[in-house]
């Protein structure tokens, strides 16, 4: 480990590597749940195999951040509905008496808390020759692949832990739609591909959109073909399925932030990249900023039914983009447009505008001067406020805007449920019943710490950007 980074990284390792006691406790919980699932299967006469997977099976889990994945592998002859119904029934009985809830990937699985540890019981198919019948079928193969590369190499496993903790610290960890970042399996592949935590960061620092990592060279270095096949900002070919991009969930935003954070850390390493200080938002400062005349903030607040988080966030993301496009098409400058939800019934779309009010006229581009212009000239001879006139060979006119107030525009369109502007169909009713908050009133969307942190992050620098100017690379324990 290079001297420049040694102190910081050794300190982080002291925080992320599980202790002997934690390993023992996790192993006991894993064994307890595994035996319970096996017993339920036997008692029900269900032919299926149970395997422990995920970061616990690979030994890449983080201290104080453990969850155990169990895969219940059914015969490929079982139909999808039986898999779903039987898989959930077995899971519920196996964790009877413990807090649990259904979650959803391609099909439902059960999340539960046993001995204070989160466990996921996921039904899937035991497939031969990698003939996938569901997306979860790959997971046991992922576990075996990573274990084969890390077995007996605790040093490399710890490099994975460093990368996972770094991504958590700079807020780009997690493949769910809400985040659009890097999954645990992707972190493992990046470390395997680049060789270490620091080598990974050096590679990230040079990334460009369309970056390809094909560890097993399944596509035989035909990079342009790979880019055409996947068409994504980041492409990491799955070693167990050459037709899958493990980094498909990674957005340009998360990729860009990781590139920048990697460059800054390499220049000035700091413990805070891994464990940022948890600062409660200053409500007074937020109110002052939102009340300023430098920009206008608008919140679209709505009641959303509780549903699978990834489905909800997909709907919110689509609707946020549609509303931002609506404003842009009508001449309003949108600095930021982001969604927030407590995932239990309250959601909001936050818009930061240059100004909610704009000029009553706009510069409208007409036809080229050497084309048919009669209809244009006749229309704007009567309707134009300024002109028409010719500029660089094209007719122009100063035309009257239909909307000069963003709030008026939003009020009218949302009262209709946003029909015709591209919002998610599932949110039309919620939008019709939505309310608009303006300026400092957007503080009133929710009093939760989660919302206040979201709002503070919307208006401030990314947390990790502050560390680059720190003169200290010292650790904190």
From the first residue on, what is the mean pLDDT of each consecutive set of 10 residues in the chain (477 residues)?
Answer: 91 96 96 97 95 96 94 94 94 95 82 95 91 92 96 92 97 94 97 97 98 96 94 97 96 97 96 88 91 94 89 95 96 97 95 96 93 93 91 95 96 90 94 96 94 91 76 43
What's the rounded Cα separation, in Å, for the pair 16 and 167? Answer: 13
Residue 438, SS3 per DSSP: strand
Helix (H) or strand (E) holding 336: strand 334-341
Helix (H) or strand (E) holding 433: none
The CATH number that applies at residue 219 is 1.10.1410.30
Tell me the pLDDT tens digit for each residue of 323-334: 999 999 999 999
372 burial type by CB count under 10 A (0-12 exposed, 13-18 middle, 19+ buried) = exposed
What's the rounded Cα separation, in Å, for the pair 298 and 163? Answer: 37
Instruction: List C-alpha distances in Å: 151 to 7, 143, 193, 197.
Output: 27, 11, 16, 18
What's the rounded Cα separation, in Å, for the pair 445 and 290? Answer: 14
Domain residue limits at 410: 283-357+404-459
In a domain, 46, yes or no: yes
How confident is the model at residue 310, as a pLDDT? 87
Which parts of 45-152 fold into alpha helices (H)?
54-58, 80-94, 138-150
Report, in angstroms and rounded to the nearest whole number, the Rg of the chain calculated over CA atoms. Answer: 27
Rounded to the nearest 10 degrees, the angle between the axes of helix 184-194 and helix 154-169 is: 120
Tell me the pLDDT tens digit for each residue of 408-448: 999 999 999 988 899 999 999 999 999 999 999 999 999 99
Identify whether residues 289 and 301 lie together within a single domain: yes
Identify whether residues 291 and 232 lie together within a single domain: no
Identify whether residues 381 and 433 lie together within a single domain: no
Identify whether residues 200 and 55 lie together within a single domain: no
Domain boundary pick from 106, 131, 147 = 147
What's the rounded Cα separation, in Å, for the pair 328 and 300? Answer: 16
Identify whether residues 157 and 48 lie together within a single domain: no
Note whether 458 and 338 are within 8 A (CB): yes
67 burial type by CB count under 10 A (0-12 exposed, 13-18 middle, 19+ buried) = middle
Identify whether residues 291 and 325 lie together within a single domain: yes
Transcribe 373-400 into DSSP letters: -HHHHHHHHHH-SEEEEEETTEEEEEEE
Note whether 110 and 95 are within 8 A (CB): yes
Identify whether residues 290 and 209 lie together within a single domain: no
User: Is this prediction's pTM over 0.85?
Assistant: yes
How confident is the model at residue 129, as a pLDDT? 80
Domain boundary pick from 84, 112, 147 = 147
Identify whether residues 433 and 297 lie together within a single domain: yes
Q: Largest Cα–Cα distance in the chain?
A: 84
Q: How many domains is the chain built from?
A: 4
Candidates 465, 476, 464; CA nearest to 167 is 464
Q: Percent of the chain having pLDDT more than 90?
A: 86
Strand partners, 364: 397
Tell me the pLDDT tens digit for each residue of 118-166: 999 999 999 988 889 998 999 999 999 999 999 888 899 999 999 999 9
Candidates 12, 140, 1; CA nearest to 74 is 140
């Amino acid at each position: 480990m290079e001297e420049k980074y040694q102190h910081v990284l050794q300190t982080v390792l002291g925080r992320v590597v599980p202790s002997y006691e934690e390993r023992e406790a996790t192993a006991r919980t894993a064994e307890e749940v595994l035996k319970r699932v096996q017993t339920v299967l036997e008692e029900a006469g269900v032919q299926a195999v149970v395997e422990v997977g995920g970061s616990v099976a690979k030994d890449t889990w983080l201290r104080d951040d453990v969850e155990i994945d169990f895969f219940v592998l059914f015969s490929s002859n079982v139909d999808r509905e039986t898999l779903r119904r039987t898989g959930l029934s077995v899971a519920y009985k196996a964790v009877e008496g413990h807090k649990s809830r259904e979650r959803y990937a391609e099909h439902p699985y059960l999340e539960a808390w046993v001995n204070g540890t989160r466990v996921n019981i996921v039904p899937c198919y035991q497939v031969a020759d990698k003939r996938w019948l569901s997306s979860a079928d790959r997971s046991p193969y992922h576990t075996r692949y990573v274990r084969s590369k890390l077995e007996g190499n605790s040093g490399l496993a710890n490099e994975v832990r460093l990368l996972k903790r770094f991504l958590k610290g700079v807020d780009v960890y997690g493949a769910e739609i809400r985040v659009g970042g890097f999954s645990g399996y992707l972190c493992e592949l990046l470390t395997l591909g680049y060789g270490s935590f620091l080598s990974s960061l050096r590679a990230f620092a040079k990334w460009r959109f369309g970056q390809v990592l094909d560890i097993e060279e399944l596509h035989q270095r035909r990079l342009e073909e790979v880019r055409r096949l996947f068409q994504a900002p980041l492409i990491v070919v799955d070693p167990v399925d050459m037709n899958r991009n493990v980094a498909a969930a990674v957005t340009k935003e998360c990729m860009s932030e990781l590139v920048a954070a990697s460059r800054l850390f390499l220049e000035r390493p700091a413990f805070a990249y891994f464990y940022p200080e948890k600062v409660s938002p200053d409500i007074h400062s937020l109110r002052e900023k939102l009340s300023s005349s430098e920009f206008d903030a608008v919140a679209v607040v709505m009641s959303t039914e509780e549903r699978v988080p990834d489905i909800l966030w997909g709907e919110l993301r689509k609707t946020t983009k549609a509303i931002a496009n609506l404003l842009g098409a009508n001449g309003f400058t949108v600095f930021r447009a982001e969604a927030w939800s407590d995932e239990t019934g309250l959601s909001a779309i936050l818009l930061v505008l240059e100004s909610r009010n704009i000029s009553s006229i706009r510069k409208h581009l007409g036809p080229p001067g050497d084309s048919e212009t009669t209809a244009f000239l006749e229309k704007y001879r009567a309707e134009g406020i300024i002109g028409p006139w010719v500029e660089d060979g094209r007719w122009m006119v100063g035309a009257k805007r239909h909307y000069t107030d963003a709030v008026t525009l939003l009020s009218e369109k949302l009262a209709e449920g946003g029909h015709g502007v591209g919002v998610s169909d599932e949110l039309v009713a919620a939008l019709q019943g939505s309310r608009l908050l303006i300026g400092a009133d957007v503080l009133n969307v929710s009093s939760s710490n989660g919302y206040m942190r979201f709002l503070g992050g919307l208006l401030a620098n990314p947390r990790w950007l502050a560390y680059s100017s720190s003169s200290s690379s010292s650790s904190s324990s």
